[in-house]
Amino acid sequence: MSNQTSVTEFLLLGFSDVRDLQILHFFFFLVIYLAALMGNLLIISAIALDHHLHTPMYFFLGNLSFLDICYISVTVPKSMANSLNNNRLISFSGCVAQLYFGITFAFAEVTLLTAMAYDRYVAICHPLRYRVIMTRGACVQMAAGSWVSSSIYSVLHTANTFRLTFCGSNVVDQFFCDIPQLLKLACTDTSANEVVVIAVSALVGLFFFISIFLSYIHIFSAVLRIPSSQGRYKAFSTCVPHLLVFSLFISTGIYTYLRPGSAASSYQGILAAVLYTVVSPIINPLIYSLRNKEIKEALGKILSKMFFTKNIFTS
């Protein structure tokens, strides 16, 4: 092993070696990326500009939209650039950064979705105490705690991965740097790393799953006791989209990190990675905006003001 050269760069997975398909992949990801940016920026703008949306629920939704922009920006632009330039290279430091920020934003998304579930639980199960419990300070603390805990969690996983020696193959069997694929490239024994990844991912995933599951048991039992059908519909309409987003994100993430190492190169794994790194950030604004009357009204006001201002300047 002393005769082998340490890896200084990695080769990411290309979706195709055919030039026309590479260009097609670039434009496909470009459309998705721009749509995710536009959708999430519109939600952030609507929440920031409409004072009626300055509530805990929309505070967390605005944070989620900002987080989705950060998360999709970790993987998609690099994959687009590689396809456009017909170049699969990523530097060692770039791979470290991609892994760190990818884990940070993924973990932050799960913790933020859990905070949103708690917010809905308090709003529906303890409506009279909602303003007392979900104060501005409490919301800021939960959001800040989400970012801080995510950074610490990511540092531990990133340091544990890159303390290994990489001196053989540098071909990452994924379109971004991720732990399961990097462990396959290490020259040293990775059994301890695999145990840590599986154990920590299982414990963390189980904790968040149980937290949200218990929250929604209380939520749905309280909703079913609401006498009016309109009230039940309004409560369900704010909770079901959140549950769908969480289910998609956590299920694909668990599938990726809890599979045996021999299955790490399967196309199912690549599809799962696309779902939680690319699809999730674009469907979040669609789910929350299309099913939320207040968001649609706020977006309508913004667009009408923009159109009105444009007409004044053009006339």
Structure confidence by residue, pLDDT tens digits, 177-208:
988 889 888 888 888 888 888 888 888 888 88
- What gap in Å lies between CA 93 and CA 95, rounded to an integer? 5
Q: Average pLDDT of the chain? A: 83
Query: Average pLDDT in the 226-255 region?
Result: 74
Pair of tokens at residue 127: 């409506």
Report the percent of the chain where pLDDT is more than 70: 88
Q: Is the pLDDT of residue 293 over 90?
A: no
Query: Average pLDDT in the 72-77 region?
Result: 93
Q: Is the pLDDT of residue 260 over 60?
A: no
Domains and CATH numbers, the chain: 9-314 (1.20.1070.10)
Q: Is the pLDDT of residue 258 over 80?
A: no
Confidence bin at 147 (pLDDT 50/70/90): very high
pLDDT at 313 (0 to 100)? 53
